[in-house]
Structure 1
Amino acid sequence: MTAESPLDGVDLKTALEATLDRTDAVLAAVDDFPLLVDDDTGKWETTEDGNWCAGHWIGLLWLAAHHADEQGKRERFETAAYDYLDRMLAAEDLLGSMFAGMNYLYAGYRGYDLTGDRTLYGVGFTGADAMVDLFHERARMVPIGAYAVAGPSEQFDLTEAVGDRPTGEQISATDMIYASIPVLWRAYSETGTEAFRDRAIAHCDRHLDWCIKPDGTTFHEVEFDPETGDLIAQYNDLAYSDDSCWARGQGWNIAGLSRAYNETAAERYLAALEETVGYYVEQTPDDLVPYWDFEDPSIPDAPRDTSAAALTAYGLSRLEGDGERVADLRQTGEATLASLVEEYLVTDASAGDRGGVRHGTYNKPGDYGVDTELIWTNYYVAYALHERLTA
């Protein structure tokens, strides 16, 4: 007998249709890559080349094309996806950053999965090769790279050293276990080339050592000595403080550990997953959508972050394997996805933002993108729904 799921009785089909309708509406509203909604104007803030999340937008377009019920719509979404893909590929600085991993995975490999276009398959390998090249052999991690991330420049521009902070070439982050590494897992599964798998495992193991604290919380960033590879410092640029825990970082960690366990069935990844998910559940309200930082002293008046919940749901609901431990974690992911669909995804046909996921927080310390709709949240919810409905 199949165990009951928190998603039983949730109208997943309508939810997915809403997210794809939102993709359609956003496509009509923007000329560049959407990043987040400016709550003051209600309009999308955009970037010319997609910056760190080009693949999320292209991935949504691939999903919309795949599920379109009219040939005209399908062709429009596919044409847009290829157009945006060309613009992403022209951004050569992306390949020197950790973000190439997920962008080339979503735009490339997953585009291939939905279309069968072998050109997109090659795009995926370009992203995997970039992560191999970026991998720091002494630190045993993929660094952020010298890259300017969309947001307050003094906080996010990692192309130059600022004060005591070095460039992104000497910094890794908890994000990378999901932002950079899954493209390596995919490349290994396609080719059996050990270079992909070895670097994925090395990074995940270093993540366990450097990014996860004994209490199950995570650091945002870690700095290492480029000559020796030794750890220099651990800090929290996007958290409330160096002693608190940034919710989206915890979500990246959960998604990444879930994938690492799926690929290896290694006990160390499952144990770390249980520890970090345990903290997440203990510190999150009953609806499993956390505040932007688990330890912000202004809680319950602090903003939530649905993108942290989307990553958690996306990672755990796709967790593979048998046994009670895995089943419990997967059920947490399904419960989180159910909550997002029923409480935060707009399904009202009369709403202007139908299909958007509300209440995401991008950068609270920089007061940028707080309590709003974020393009990557929409992608992770849509993809989790797509996988659930097409399994």
Structure 2
Amino acid sequence: MTSETDRIGGTPAGIRAAVALGSMLERIAVTEAIVQDRFPLYATPDTGEWTTTRRGSWVAGFWVGQLWLRARLTRDARHRDAAKDWARRLAPAAAADTVTRGLTLWYGAAAGHRLGVSESGHQLASRGAEQLAATYDPAAGILPWGTAFNDPAQPAIARVDGLAGTIPLLAWTGSGAVAERHLTTHLRACSRPSELIPTLSFAQGRWEPRAEPAAGWSRGEAWLLLALADAGLWLDAEYSRRAVELLSEWPWPPTAVPAAVRGEPLVLDTSAASITAVAMCKLGCSDRARELVAVLVGEHLSTGESPGRLLNGCYDLSRGLATRHELIWGDFFLMLALAILSGEVDPAEL
């Protein structure tokens, strides 16, 4: 990894960024030893022990994405080979009935190619993108949420967390028109004058809000901002303008860590903040991204005997699930933001 202090003259901010990236690389090695052949999901704030899944649920791509980032930063063949081995295990995601396969395949399968580390995963990402595009529902105008997480096939469900990853994956593999229709329908249906509606059902020709996730879910807003930022890079620069407008009306200070759900200020979600930081990097709002990353690193990234863990992430407040934990996608997006701000990764690469 290029020394951050060499790149920007050894400034205190640069030194802190280099230390933070180094600690996150250490954490990846610790996680490998803990999870062995299972995918990490979330880890307890006190012990750092991971809850894992056999197939990775919707988060598998973020663990593999971290491994690709490590390989890019270290240029170590052993790290490249580890990422390739894990990427092969994402094959079931190509056919999984969920639009979140866009997240898994973009950040987990396509990332090796996009980061210039390996062609491994390119074919899988392309095949999965083709299968995902084929699920497009012309009546609803979306790629439906799907049944993989026990939701019904009908009525069609739209969720804002079905946008990120999906937009660049489809555009990269030649299905940009489907990606744009999917995005514009969400913008029309989910964006209401007073707030974002994160999930809706389409029945009898109209969209109706669903109960969960509820309005005020900060991660939903972060996913939408990231999707718009990527659409600006992959589809039309007009989406970047819309993203900047959205950021100007952001429901929490964009350089602060938000509550997981507005109205519940005691429970934060650093993962929403790390997603927002990456989106701001893609939008050219680097100064604000640096401010936000500085907060995450200075106040929420663990140090001491167990460094490199982004704490105070909230998986699901309504169920009381992992409400102050290390989340694998929070780790991934903070690591990506640090790599972008350090000049190690271009914002358009991933």
- Interval of TM-score (by shorter of Structure 1 and Structure 2): 0.7 to 0.9
The separation in 2 between residues aligned to 1:224 and 1:122, in whole angstroms, is: 33
Aligned match for 1:197, one of 176, 185, 193: 176
Residues 142 and 180 in structure 1, CA contact (< 8 A), matched pair in contact too: no
The separation in 1 between residues aligned to 2:206 and 2:26, in whole angstroms, is: 46
* TM-score, normalising length: structure 1: 0.78
Aligned match for 1:294, one of 254, 259, 262: 262
**What's the counterpart of residue 72 of structure 2?**
66
The separation in 1 between residues aligned to 2:301 and 2:120, in whole angstroms, is: 34
The separation in 2 between residues aligned to 1:295 and 1:82, in whole angstroms, is: 43
Residues 68 and 112 in structure 2, CA contact (< 8 A), matched pair in contact too: yes
**What's the counterpart of residue 170 of structure 1?**
156
2:238 matches 1:273: no
Question: Superposed, which structure 2 residues align to 1:201-350 within 5 Å?
Answer: 201-215=180-194, 217-225=195-203, 230-239=205-214, 244-267=215-238, 269-270=239-240, 272-280=242-250, 282-284=251-253, 288-296=256-264, 299=265, 302-319=266-283, 329-346=285-302, 348=303, 350=304
Q: Secondary structure at the match of 1:45?
A: strand
CA deviation profile, 1:179-232 (whole Å, cap 9, x unmatched): 4222112223xxxxxxx11111111211210111213x311211113xx6x333
Question: How many Å apart are 1:257 and its aligned residue?
Answer: 1.0
CA deviation profile, 1:88-122 (whole Å, cap 9, x unmatched): 2145652x211111211122221123455334221
CA deviation profile, 1:261-314 (whole Å, cap 9, x unmatched): 2234443x345424432343x534x85110001233xx3xx2100011011101
Q: Secondary structure at the match of 2:140?
A: coil
Counting aligned pairs with the same residue, the percent is: 26
* TM-score, normalising length: structure 2: 0.86
- Which amino acid in the other structure matches residue 313 of structure 1? A
Q: Secondary structure at the match of 1:178?
A: coil
Aligned match for 1:379, one of 325, 332, 340: 332
2:108 matches 1:107: yes
The separation in 2 between residues aligned to 1:168 and 1:355, in whole angstroms, is: 42
Question: How many Å apart are 1:172 and its aligned residue?
Answer: 1.3
Pair 295,33 (structure 1): closer, same or farther in 2 beyond 3 Å: same
Residues 223 and 275 in structure 2, CA contact (< 8 A), matched pair in contact too: yes
The separation in 1 between residues aligned to 2:119 and 2:241, in whole angstroms, is: 38
2:5 matches 1:26: no
Pair 274,68 (structure 1): closer, same or farther in 2 beyond 3 Å: closer
Aligned match for 1:82, one of 78, 81, 84: 84
Residues 93 and 104 in structure 2, CA contact (< 8 A), matched pair in contact too: no
Residues 146 and 169 in structure 1, CA contact (< 8 A), matched pair in contact too: no
Aligned length in residues: 332
- Which amino acid in the other structure matches residue 21 of structure 2? L
2:10 matches 1:9: no
